[in-house]
Amino acid sequence: MFLKLFNTNRPIVLFLLVLIGICLWITSFLTAYIKVPNPSFIYLFLNEINIITGNIIAFATILISGIMISSFVNKSIYFNKINYLPAFFYVLLMSSMKEFSCHNPIIYANLFLILGFGRLHLIYQQEKCKNHIFISSTYIFIATMFFLPYIVFLILVWIVLFLIRPIVFKEWIMPFISFIVIGFNSFVIYRLFFENILFDYNFINTSIIITNSDSDLYIYIISVIAIFSIISIIALSKKYIQSVNRFKKLSLTAIYFLLISISLSTYFYFANLNNASILIMAVPLSIILPFISYIRTKKWIYETLIFTLFVLILVNKLLL
């Protein structure tokens, strides 16, 4: 049902996406979750908002982010036709953990991560791409200002350059220039407006609400997502073998994106810092999971898995 429904570009799909999102977030609109500690001077402003209002803004940001993923994926050559599967999977993944369905920095960090990765797709076969690299790096640095561990995604810029472009010194130093520009502006803003304000910079430990990730429902949810991921990567691999060089290079960037997010999530899990792994992997997974649509046989099995995942998430959200 979901796979067939969102594998189209009909406008009504966006309306259904909002309805599904509301079903998964209804408890967040009615429940005042604990406020997340201030991890940065950017998030300070957002954290002063009323909790319910903040949750509504977070939900709207997730919807916008999901549509943005579908937009840049559809402009690439990942799929043969325009569809909203990336948006659907993103909303589903970002809503999968009840305690994280609230006003939290990863939601906003992911928005800028999407902008950064989408900009990297524009450098393929461009004669001059320093501007794209600079802007992409800037978006990633802004994401880092919401959630510091996302600094590791800067590696993705150099990976994409290595895969897609010949080595050009001026292009490879653009992330450093972006860092200098963002760092200088942040320092100036801090000195002008926030010098007398005490910030909690230890936000690897404090910026995310700790959840009971060992509950049976969470284990089932993660297991279904893992099964989906394996099947989708197999489908992507088959498509990779049969495709042109451009698709191969772009799909490799998505795979490396996923590998970096898995590494970061694994570190968080074993360091017992928090269990936001699904949220951290939501962006690359939303690009990878739709490749399941390339599998032509036994689609009812995958539809059943998606429906099962949706029901598990919904039940988890409704349980007190």
Cα-atom radius of gyration of the chain, to the nearest Å?
19
What does the chain come to in residues? 320
**Assigned token pair, 247:** 């698709």
Calculate what percentage of the chain has a pLDDT beyond 90. Answer: 28
What is the reported pLDDT for 194? 60
Give CA–CA dist 268/275, Å, rounded: 7
Residue 15 has pLDDT above 80, yes or no: yes
pLDDT tens, residue by residue, 281-310: 999 999 999 988 887 777 778 888 888 989
Tell the burial category of 150 from Cβ atoms under 10 Å away from its Cβ (0-12, 13-18, 19+).
buried
Residue 84 to residues 6, 16, 92, 108, Cα–Cα distance (Å): 5, 11, 12, 21
Listed residue (13, 73, 9, 60) closest to 284, CA to CA? 73
pLDDT of residue 221: 87
Q: In the predicted model, what is the mean pLDDT of residues 202-210?
A: 42
Nearest to 176 by CA among 145, 213, 137, 209: 137
**Cα–Cα dist 54/46, whole Å:** 7
Q: What's CA 128's distance to the chain center, in Å?
A: 28
30-79 residue pLDDT tens? 765 555 544 555 666 666 677 778 888 889 999 999 999 998 888 887 88
pLDDT tier at 123 (50, 70, 90 boundaries)?
confident
Reply yes or no on whether the pLDDT at 279 is more than 70: yes
Question: Domain segments of the chain: what residues?
Answer: 2-318
Residue whose entry in the numeric block shows the structure tokens 């948006």: 87
